[in-house]
Amino acid sequence: MSFLKEIQRRRTFGIISHPDAGKTTLTEKLLLFGGAIQEAGAVKSNKIKKGATSDFMEIERQRGISVATSVLAFEYNGIKVNILDTPGHKDFAEDTFRTLTAVDSVIVVIDVAKGVEEQTEKLVEVCRMRKIPMIVFINKLDREGKDAFDLLDEVEQKLGLSVTPLSFPIGMGYDFKGIYNIWEKNINLFSGDSRKNIEETIHVSDLSSDDLDTLIGEQSANELRDNLELVEGVYPEFNKDDYLNGNLQPVFFGSALNNFGVRELLDCFVEIAPKPRPKESEERLIKPDENKFTGFVFKIHANMDPNHRDRLAFIKIVSGTFERNKPYLHVRNNKKMKFSSPNAFFAEKKQIVDISYPGDIVGLHDTGNFKIGDTLTEGEQINYRGIPSFSPEHFRYINNADPLKSKQLYKGIDQLMDEGVAQLFTLELNGRKIIGTVGALQYEVIQYRLEHEYGAKCTYENLNVFKACWVDPEEVLTDEYKEFVRVKQRFLAKDKQNQLVFLADSAFSLQMTQQKYPSIKFHFTSEFN
Ligand code: GDP
């Protein structure tokens, strides 16, 4: 197959949801359609189960599963689909944010009874800011839930989206009769049997025909007619360009567990979802069909086996082909590297591959050369735009508990930060080191890994910080800036990129500081250039 055809047929996306909405179940059904797995239950959920917070090894065991489920690839009707896994657990939200830099589109799963939940809001906000095309799947229609129109309203209001339903439920919960597919103009009847033959779709060319009444009963038929009329009157017609530009989000209804409405979602997805998209680098826009390979690291996974301490760096291929044993330039280190065993992913297995295409993900064994955000090329000096860090929610001083092992400690901290486990800040005043994390879980992870992988011991000390605010650098130092730096020295730190950060101790003090020094610009993510 030609290079261009290989690009055209790839769809790389992520599924995002609040935990328990049905992401794992949906992923599994999609894989079943692709024939990538034979039976339900084959995909392991990588979510961190409740109660695991106190049991560190259990967390790591569960997290270990996520290596296998990091990328799930399958073929469907000639299309190569790559699903990038996104942890739903809030403490690993940073992982998910970074993975979102490697997807070309997203499916958002929402629980029909719970509606829009907290974690969905945060993740969708990131996708919205980046204009990532999104399809919404409202799940668990076999259960009692919210009214479909109320849910669509909620999605629009809470998620700031502009939706148009491409399918519509007939009844719900106990009375769930099936789904009218607006996109394909047919009805799929629900039999409540998960072994149901999914080919049983009934074409409905004329909604006003009596056949509809025979099919689903007069009352349901009339209700459906009214609902569809309302849909047509209220929601914009689906337009692929609007979807691709992130301005319109189609909505599907279904039940992942019953494999209901999933085929409709998949068929529409492979038809409308974007093929690999061009990506901005600091120097220029890079198109997937350029001949020369470029790619970037969006995730690093440590091997938890203490005897094999190598890591797996995940590279998204942006342009050209990635080939085994070919030398590539690691731009930040200005070093040529060859990879003899790049891993590709198929269903839940990984295997060594000779060639990969734009949209694909390869896993490279790494002994500490890579950082999240690193660029690989065939020689061109380009740097893919950084992956933003958000302000952490927790801050603690990290202290060395074994003075003989300070070298190991600093090396360990350095490498763990490169992996993106947490963020490091160094206080301007006295050089003390502060670890910022999204979830309290990471402190345990860091402490354990420092000890077991680097032979270093650490303790933590609480620190009251409300938010890390990145300070816009000034070319020419104004008096106001100088005064700010002098007066607020106690609260100033440098991040790992040497950017200045103001660690505000409360919302109030942030507000006061901003009022006092109006010309100083604060940013709440590290990516503001
Ligand atoms: P995740 O946390 O988003 O990956 O959610 P899971 O896929 O693990 O699903 C959470 C729970 O919801 C599991 O017990 C599933 O069996 C259940 N579930 C998923 N889809 C459906 C559905 O369509 N209907 C019903 N009734 N339950 C579902």
Phi/psi of residue 505, each to 5°?
-90, -10
CB-based contact 171:220 (threshold 8 Å): yes
69 lines ligand 1 (CB under 6 A): no
Nearest-CA residue for atom 24 of ligand 1: 140
Give the whole-angstrom CA distance, residue 458 versus residue 445: 12
139 lines ligand 1 (CB under 6 A): yes
478 annotated to bind ligand: no
281 lines ligand 1 (CB under 6 A): no
Chain centroid, CA 323 distance in Å:
26
pLDDT digits (tens, 9 = 90+) for 233-254: 999 999 999 999 999 999 999 9
148 or 306, greater pLDDT? 148
20 lines ligand 1 (CB under 6 A): yes
Nearest-CA residue for atom 19 of ligand 1: 22
108 lines ligand 1 (CB under 6 A): no
197 pLDDT above the threshold of 60: no
Give the whole-angstrom CA distance, residue 260 versus residue 170: 13
SS3 for 150-187, per residue?
Answer: HHHHHHHHHHCCCEEECEEEECCHHHCCEEEECCCCEE
Residues 6 or more apart in contact with residue 241 via CB below 8 angstroms: none
For residue 518 the two structure tokens come to 């109006």
| Buried-state track 6-22, b at ≥16 Cβ within 10 A, e below 16 | bbebbbbbbbbbbbbbb
143 lines ligand 1 (CB under 6 A): yes
140 lines ligand 1 (CB under 6 A): yes
Give the whole-angstrom CA distance, residue 350 versus residue 67: 10
Mean of pLDDT over the chain: 87
5 C-alpha vs ligand 1 centroid, how far in Å? 36
- Smallest Cα–Cα separation from 165: which of 143, 146, 148, 177? 148
46 C-alpha vs ligand 1 centroid, how far in Å? 13
Amino acid at 233: G
348 pLDDT above the threshold of 70: no
Which residue intervals of 298-360 are DSSP H helices? Answer: none
Query: To test ligand 1's pocket by mutation, which of 109, 257, 265 has the most ligand atoms within 8 angstroms of CB?
Result: 257
Length of the chain: 529
Q: Which range (84-93, 421-430, 447-456) has the least confidence?
A: 84-93
Q: How confident is the model at residue 51 (pLDDT cuts 50, 70, 90)?
A: very low
19 lines ligand 1 (CB under 6 A): yes
Amino acid at 403: P
Residues 6 or more apart in contact with residue 408 via CB below 8 angstroms: 450, 454, 455, 456
Q: In what order do the strands lie in the sheet with 311-319?
A: 335-337, 328-330, 375-377, 294-302, 311-319, 361-366, 343-346, 349-352
The single-letter DSSP state of residue 445 is H
206 burial via Cβ count (<10 Å: 0-12, 13-18, 19+)? exposed
CB-based contact 296:374 (threshold 8 Å): yes
Domains of the chain (ranges; CATH) run 3-272 (3.40.50.300), 279-377 (3.40.50.300), 394-523 (3.30.70.3280)
Nearest-CA residue for atom 17 of ligand 1: 22
23 lines ligand 1 (CB under 6 A): yes
CB-based contact 388:97 (threshold 8 Å): yes
380 or 184, greater pLDDT? 380
Nearest-CA residue for atom 9 of ligand 1: 22
State the complex-level ipTM: 0.99
Amino acid at 473: P
262 lines ligand 1 (CB under 6 A): no
CB-based contact 95:1 (threshold 8 Å): no
pLDDT digits (tens, 9 = 90+) for 133-145: 999 999 999 999 9
112 lines ligand 1 (CB under 6 A): no
pLDDT (mean) for 164-168: 96
- 492-494 vs 423-427, strand pairing mode: antiparallel
pLDDT digits (tens, 9 = 90+) for 253-287: 999 998 889 989 999 999 999 999 999 999 999 99
24 annotated to bind ligand: yes
Can you tell me whether residue 403 is helix, strand or coil?
Answer: helix
78 annotated to bind ligand: no
150 pLDDT above the threshold of 90: yes
131 C-alpha vs ligand 1 centroid, how far in Å? 28
pLDDT for residue 38 = 62
25 C-alpha vs ligand 1 centroid, how far in Å? 6
304 or 312, greater pLDDT? 312
255 C-alpha vs ligand 1 centroid, how far in Å? 9
Can you tell me whether residue 71 is helix, strand or coil?
Answer: strand
For residue 431 the two structure tokens come to 């050089």
492 lines ligand 1 (CB under 6 A): no
397 C-alpha vs ligand 1 centroid, how far in Å? 39
Residues 6 or more apart in contact with residue 266 via CB below 8 angstroms: 30, 33, 76
Query: To test ligand 1's pocket by mutation, which of 25, 138, 143 has the most ligand atoms within 8 angstroms of CB?
Result: 25
Give the whole-angstrom CA distance, residue 242 versus residue 246: 6
For residue 127 the two structure tokens come to 């996708």
19 C-alpha vs ligand 1 centroid, how far in Å? 9
356 lines ligand 1 (CB under 6 A): no
- 394-400 vs 458-462, strand pairing mode: antiparallel
